[in-house]
Amino acid sequence: MSKRPKILVTQRIPADAYSLLHSIGEVEANMDEGIIWSPEELLRRAPGHDYLLCLLTDTIDARVLETCASASPRLKLVANMAVGYNNIDVKAATRQQITVSNTPGVLSDTTADLAFALLLATARRVPEAERFLRAGKFTGWGPLLFCGAEVHGSTLGIIGAGRIGRLMAKRAGGFDMHVCYYNTRRLPADIEASYRLTYVELEELLRQSDFVSLHVPYAPTTHHLIGERELALMKSSAILINTARGPVVDEKALVHALQSGRIAGAGLDVFEHEPAVEPELLSMENVVLVPHIASASFKTRTRMAMMAAENIVAHAQGQRPPNQVNG
């Protein structure tokens, strides 16, 4: 009888995934809600496990991978419960013959929903108005009370027209928005037509858009994709939306652009040095901030956890994980 594999789950996840993992192995899990293990804690706990189910907020660096690869049993797969996997040193994993998997596709609609919610909330000053009302300051209707930006009929610029970017465009169609996009590769004409997308170069997109929404993966080529120069190209009435990755935006440059009136506002789900946020952003009324919740619906988070678990189960059964990203 073969020995059941040992599985480590680094953060608390939806319950259904534990049942699947228990069916094929012995599970050790961090059950403390909101507690993220440091790299040192991971280095202490992870060696001796066959499988590691982690999240984007876990740092799985070369040191962790190399130590786990030399332990017994050796680490065989890191299942990331996220689309992105820049938290994992994939090259180091590949060198150590450790498989890495992710959970693509399942969170696209939910993330596009949140991106559009940020656009609406920032444009129409919803959080600011709610704080005003809760503070007891509302004494009656006024013609200029919390006037915001028009959404319907405006121009939305989408940077990164993958799954989520296209779904953002689809939502914009319901508001009769004009949608332009920039991508490293132009989309086929039939896809452009289907989503009513107009291709423009990045500089032109920044100049003509009332709203700029970021949907690119994080990589060295997208680090500070939006910096001082790019912000200076935007309309002074424009609003920046980021549900991609924090380091895609130079946060200090964004603070300066907002403080100087270079742009009108921002809606942010992710931050450059997450979970830390530039202190100036916290006090700005023209910025809507949420704590990395783009995929946070019960249905989506459960499906993400199940996909991560299914990648582990497939590997344990001698199959290629459905969402393997290396090898």
- Which positions are annotated as active-site residues? 245, 274, 292
Please report where in the chains the tokens 């069916």 appear, as a residue: 23
Nearest to 242 by CA among 276, 211, 267: 267
The identity of residue 321, as a single letter, is P
- DSSP label at 210? S
Helix (H, G, I), strand (E, B) or coil at 51: strand
Nearest to 245 by CA among 126, 160, 151: 160
Q: Which two tokens stand for residue 208?
A: 């003509």
Close Cβ partners of 11 (under 8 Å, ≥ 6 residues apart): 30, 35, 36, 37, 54, 55, 57, 58
Compute the chain's Rg from CA coordinates.
22
For the four alpha carbons of 167, 254, 288 and 238, in that order, the dihedral sign comes to: negative
Please report where in the chains the tokens 């993330």 appear, as a residue: 111
The identity of residue 18, as a single letter, is Y
Q: Residue 287: left (phi > 0), alpha (psi -120 to 50), or beta?
A: beta
